Amino acid sequence: MVYLDHAATTPVRPEVVRDMTEEFGHLGNASSLHGAGRRARRAVEEAREAVAVALGATPNEVVFTSGGTEADNLAVKGLYWARNGADPARRRLLVGAVEHHAVLDPARWMADHQGALYEELPVDRLGRVRPAALRAAIERDPGSVAVVSVMWANNEVGTVQPVAELAAVAAEYGIPFHTDAVQAVGAEPVDFAASGVSALTVSGHKLGGPVGAGALLLARGVDPVPVLHGGGQEREVRSGTLMTPLLRGFATAVRMAVAERTAHSAALAALRDDLVAEVRAAVPDIALNGDPVHRLPGNAHISFPGCEGDALLMLLDAKGIECSTGSACSAGVARASHVLLAMGADPETARGSLRFSLGRGSTADDVKALGEAIAPAVARARAARGRRR
């Protein structure tokens, strides 16, 4: 198997498995006051501190969640409710047009069910939200904007956004700025305090950690209305029994990913460039999507003219090469990528693209295997498409 879908999920690190296995051997609810509970609470708070140190935050700014989707929902819905509750005129949700559906869908739901005004911030042909575009959107009616959400790095095409600049624009108007940094942590230098953002989402399984653990970082004074109600375990913002073993593993993954980032990103970028070169040599008319400079080091999102992406994916899968047509959360849905459409691509191009994402464990042999398999797969995909026409 050649696994080229690390943007969807990553192998769990052995160190993470070790820490979680040890923690699963202990009994105790972190909310209990007895000895077992205090021991579990200590493990949780040590995990919180590790995540905070790695991401440039303070421990009381880290709210643990079950992952990226919950954190994004808490940010979008909770911050909207908090802002709109304080001033009903604040009804506008400004969201990047290329966001993950974990942001897009909650924002659209708020428009359909909560009276919000949903607005997408346009992107250029590289997938970037320009600070001028955000400023123009805000200035149409500054007092009506409840929340701005723009992801740190795009999960499909790999474009890295000018997050600090965008957050600074929002701050000028006193508007909270949320960023989904799920793809960025461990690949880009992510510093919560230095970025100036109000809220930041991170997820464990994109970093060599477990599925089911993540966090929403909230700056001091940024208090969303809870989405989940119950015990109020996390700052009265997020209720639910704390998953101590997963949180310990999550913290280990974050700490290691951030510590290894510089060398790892450089190696991935070189391997990614080799991958693009191999594919282009085999299929000369491909197009690389996304920002050629400001992009994730392990991401290569490529359009193959005359192909259906789903068909090409299955042909490669039959050869033991696993990749994606885009977001794994949208897999199995035959529709053009909303990311490429927002970037100005035509629907045919948007349907004929694949994402190859490298990570720990990716090798030059993986790239070579793709280079050998891609031309025959493209030829078959084009022939099949021609027959259907």
Structural domains in the chain plus CATH codes: 2-9+261-388 (3.90.1150.10), 14-259 (3.40.640.10)
Give me the residues paired with residue 148 across strands: 94, 177
Whole-prediction pTM: 0.96
Q: Which residue in 17, 164, 269, 329 is the catalytic one? A: 329
Question: Contact at 8 Å (CB) between 238 and 226?
Answer: yes
Q: Say what the pLDDT of residue 329 is.
A: 55
Q: Say what the pLDDT of residue 239 is.
A: 96
Q: Among the residues of the chain, which ranges form H helices?
A: 14-24, 35-55, 68-73, 79-86, 101-113, 131-139, 163-172, 192-195, 244-259, 261-282, 309-318, 338-342, 347-351, 364-388
Q: Say what the pLDDT of residue 384 is.
A: 85
Strands 177-180 and 199-203: parallel
**Alpha carbon 84 to chain centroid distance?**
26
Q: Is 329 a catalytic residue?
A: yes
pLDDT in tens, 9-59: 999 999 999 999 999 999 999 999 999 999 999 999 999 999 999 999 999
Report residues of the chain scoring pLDDT below 70. Answer: 327-334, 387-389
Q: Say what the pLDDT of residue 385 is.
A: 77
Question: Contact at 8 Å (CB) between 357 and 6?
Answer: yes
